[in-house]
Amino acid sequence: MLIVTCALAQADVDIRRVSGRASDRLKEAERRWRTAQQRSWRDPISPEELAVVAAVTKIYSELFQPELRSAPRIATLTEKGQDILLARWTLSGDKNRISDLIVWDTPQGTSFIFRLAPGSWSVDPAIRSSFERLLLPPRSDGETPPAKGATVNIARDPYTKHWVGAGGILMNYGPRQFDVGLMNWFDLWETNAASFLAVTFSQFATPGFPSNMRSIGERFPSLESRVGQWSKEQLLNELAHSGGFESSGRDRVMAKELLRRNLTDDELVSLLKTREPDPSGSVLSIIVEVHQVTRFMSAIRTYLQTATGNEGKANHPFDILGPTDEANFTDVAIEVLRHDYRANPAFRYAARHGATLAEYRALTELPLLDVSYVREGYLSQMRRRLGLVTDGNPKLLK
């Protein structure tokens, strides 16, 4: 994200005149606005609807300047299995200003679509004025709200002759372990009657949003309220055809419900094997989280016997089971290592959970790796835990 110095009285707006035409993303924003105009509006009723309205209102109040003077009217719809909430506010009766706001909230993010006065994108002063009236200004104490400005790429569409553009709000986001893509973006366009701006924030840019309203398609009503009516077979089938990071939230809800059913060991082993490769590890993670490891100890042992693979496998089964002391699978880990001595997750597990001198020796007898100093660190911790050191030196192991 471009770093800018914020002026004392207004946000910085970097405008770049480019060539081009309306993108597919912009056309989707236009479609959303048209779709909203065709809805029947009502008051929010359900707890899920009220929670989303409260969340998007909070996001808005921390970023944008025009006051929301009343509660919104809403509508809900489902597109491609995703429950969407639309909220509508009238910001001003003056068509020469920012007059209307439509919020389009999906499981993946929130879009604020503003209707502005005609000609808002025609010249640079008008563009700057539009953003200055939208974004919260810096405070008198020199501090700034989250948005520090905007970058705008704008062009005249060669087919429609109308102004179109794209860009992003300048914000400081905290570091993340994984790249989650763009955190926010916007698209702008105009018609003969008005100008429009659609500002979208990724789900990763909306902390505090109800977790069960993100990443999960079923929201109105929530998935939690639906799965109780599903059969065990439907839960197994849904979980068997999932397993990616993008579905982990949905998988966790279904896995919790599945564990309330009469799930057999064979069904669990089959499910875990069918989901491979399973970077989310959701099913096994839920078993650990709700303390059901002892209940499924036999099935887990069977599954772990084939849990080979190395660091490239996210959420490896041995790593998922590492935090729990409900059961000890060190013997399985050592068995896996004897077939594949490079299986580092199994080595980590055995070094952290091994409880006997024989298990320690089994790990020391494995062939050395190119990075054996890492394993030596785990072995050193194991020696201390088992009392195999005195005064910092290894005991004579008999």
pLDDT in tens, 301-320: 999 998 765 555 668 999 99
Enumerate residues 6+ apart whose C-beta is below 8 A from 377: none
* C-beta of residue 249 within 8 angstroms of C-beta of residue 215: yes
* Residue from 55, 88, 85, 56 nearest 72 by CA: 88
Domain residue limits, the chain: 12-211, 228-292, 305-398
Q: What is the pLDDT of residues 179-188, one digit of tens each?
A: 778 999 999 9
* Residue from 204, 212, 139, 140 nearest 173 by CA: 204
The better pLDDT of the pair 370, 177 is held by 370
Please report which confidence band the pLDDT of residue 4 belongs to, taking 50, 70 and 90 as the band edges: very low
Give the model's pLDDT for residue 44: 97
Look up residue 71 and give its two tokens: 């509660």
- Residue range 25-49: mean pLDDT, rounded: 97
Whether the model pTM is above 0.75: yes
Give the model's pLDDT for residue 148: 86
Q: What is the pLDDT of residues 374-393, one digit of tens each?
A: 899 999 999 999 998 765 56
* 357-364 vs 344-353: helix crossing angle, rounded to 10: 150
Give the residue carrying structure tokens 């057999």.
Answer: 264
- Residue range 109-116: mean pLDDT, rounded: 97
Instruction: Tell me the three state secondary structure of residue 71.
Output: coil
Give the residue carrying structure tokens 């100890």.
Answer: 297
* C-beta of residue 105 within 8 angstroms of C-beta of residue 85: yes
